[in-house]
Structure 1
Amino acid sequence: MIDQIKQLNTLDYLVVVLYMVMLSGVGIDLAKFNKTVDDFFRGGGKTPWWIAGLSTFVSGFTAFMFVAAAGHTYKNGLSAVVLFTSAFWGYWLGYFVYAKKWRRARLSLRRWSF
C-alpha cells in the first residue's frame, strides 16, 4: 500500500496534462484582450479603484497566512495574533486611502521596473 502512494500512476499524469492543456487554452483565449503591457498590468486603465484596492488586499493572503502564520500562532500563543493582525491597518490604508489615488495617478510600469 505504501509503495503505491509514493508512485504516480497514469491517471495522475493524465490529470496534470489535462489541467495544463486547460490552463493553456484559457490563456490563449484570454490573450486577445491584452494588446499591450498596460492592458496586462493595469487592465488598460479601465479597472475601477475599488477593484484595484481589493486586488491589493486579497494578494496579501498567501499560503503563509493559512499555514505558517497559523503554526507560528500555535507555537507562540496569542501574542503572535497581534503581529499578524497589525497588517490590517496597512491594508486598510492601501484599500481605502491609496487605491483611489493610485488609480487617479494613471501610473504605468516601466520596463526596467520588472
Structure 2
Amino acid sequence: MTAAHLNQANFADYIVIGCYGLLMAMVGIYVMRFNRGAAEYFKGGNRIPWLVAGLSSFMAGFSAWTFTGAAGVAYKAGVAVIGLYIGNALSFLLGYFIFAARWRRTRITTVMEYLGARFNSTTHQTFSWSMVLFQIFTGGSTLYGLSLFISSACGFPISWTIGVSGALIMFYCVVGGLWAVVLTDFLQASILMPFCLVLVMASLAAVGGIGGLLHSLPPEMKTLHLTGEFGWIYLVCWTVMVSFGYNTSAMAQRYFSVEDESAA
C-alpha cells in the first residue's frame, strides 16, 4: 500500500466530515431557543454545567497544530516537547486556585463590560477593538492550520477549506451564542479523547509497547535536551505566556457561564 493511497480519503471519510459539519450547525440552531437576552447569549444564563464548561476550556487549548506541529516538534526535539505543555497544566491550576472564582464573583456578562466598569469607556473601546484585530489574525492562523491538515488528507483546496470552515464556525457561534460554543466543544472532546486513547494504544502496540518505544528512540531524544530553537528561554517564555494567556477573556467567559463560584 503506497503513501499516496494512505493519504487518500475515501467516500466514507467525506460522509463523516459532512455529517460532522451538519451536526455542528444543528447544535447552533437547537440552542438558539435558549438565548432570550444578552445574559443567555454571552454567558449561557449561568446555567451551563461545570463539566461542559470545563471541557470547553480544555478544548480551547486544542487545534490542528497539536496533532501536526507538535508532533513535528516531538520528532525534532524529543521529550523536550513536554515542556511546551507545562504552561497548559499551570493555566488550569491558576484558573482553579485564583482566577475562576474571582471572574465568577464579578457577576458581569463579558470581559469588556468589566473593563468599562473598572476603568473607563476609553479603556473599554481600546481593548475591544484591539482584541478584534488580534482575533482576526489568531483565527486566520488557526483556520490555516486546520485547512492544511484537511487539504492534505482530503485533497480540498486550502482557500475553499478556510472559507467553508470559517463560515460554519461563524454560523453556529452567531446563531447559538456561548451555548453553541461550549456544546460543540463538549462534543469534540467526546470524540477526541477516546480517539486519542485508541491512537496511543495502537501506536504503542505497533512499536512493541513502552519498552520498545524507549529502545527505538535515538539517545538524544531520551533526555531533556533544551538547546537551539527550543531552548530554556523559549520554554520559559512560552510557559509564562500560556499560563496567563489561557485565563484571559476566552476562559473567563466559561467561568461566567456556570451557576456559582464553586462550579467555576
Shorter-normalised TM range: 0.5 to 0.7
- 1:54-95: CA deviation from partner (whole Å, max 9, x where unpaired): 532332133322332122121112223223223311221013
| C-alpha distance 81-71 of structure 1, shift in aligned 2 (>3 A) | same
Q: Distance in 2 between matches of 1:39 and 1:48?
A: 14
Partner residue of 2:56? 55
Q: Contact 1:39–1:45 at 8 Å: present in 2 too?
A: yes
Comparing both chains, which one has the higher relative contact order based on Cα–Cα distances under 8 Å and sequence gaps of 6 or more?
2
Cross-structure match for 1:95? 96
Question: Could you say which residue in structure 1 is the equivalent of 2:32?
Answer: 31
Rounded to whole Å, the distance in 2 between the matches of 1:50 and 1:104 is 19
Judged with a 3 Å threshold, the aligned counterparts in structure 2 of structure 1 residues 59 and 96 are, in CA distance, closer, same or farther, namely farther
Compared with structure 1, are the counterparts of its residues 56 and 88 closer, same or farther at alpha carbon in structure 2 (3 Å cutoff)? Answer: same
Q: Which consecutive residues of structure 1, in runs of 5 or more, have no partner in the other structure?
A: none
Distance 1:54 1:23 in 2: 16
The percentage of counterpart residues that share the same residue type is 35
Would you identify which runs of 4 or more consecutive aligned residues in structure 1 move more than 3 Å?
Answer: 18-26, 46-55, 110-114
Kept after mapping to 2: 8 A contact 1:54/1:95 = no
With over 3 angstroms needed to count, the CA separation of the structure-2 counterparts of 1:46 and 1:69, relative to structure 1, is: same
* Structure 2 unaligned blocks of 5 or more: 114-124, 133-264
Partner in structure 2 of residue 64 of structure 1:
65
Q: Which residue number in structure 2 is paired with residue 85 of structure 1?
A: 86
User: What amino acid does structure 1 have at the position aligned with 2:67?
Assistant: F
Deviation at 1:104, TM superposition (A): 1.4
Change in 2 beyond 3 A, CA 1:55/1:22: closer
Higher mean displacement: 43-52 or 95-104: 43-52
Asked whether the equivalents of residues 50 and 95 of structure 1 are also in contact (C-alpha less than 8 Å), the reply is no
Q: CA RMSD in A?
A: 3.6
Tell me by how many angstroms 1:47 deviates: 4.1
Distance 1:76 1:86 in 2: 18
Deviating more after overlay: 47-56 vs 101-110: 47-56
Q: Could you list the per-position Cα deviations for residues 27-53 of structure 1 after superposition, in whole angstroms to 9, with x for gaps in the alignment?
A: 323211012232122111334667645
With structure 1 as the length reference, what TM-score do the two structures score? 0.63
User: What amino acid sits opposite 2:83 in the alignment?
Assistant: V
Match of 1:41 in 2: 42
* Correspondence for 2:105: 104
- Tell me if structure 2 keeps the 8 A contact 1:73–1:80: yes
Distance (whole Å) between structure 1 residues aligned to residue 75 and residue 57 of structure 2? 27
- Mean Cα displacement is larger for which, 76-85 or 42-51? 42-51
TM-score (norm 2): 0.32
Match of 1:76 in 2: 77
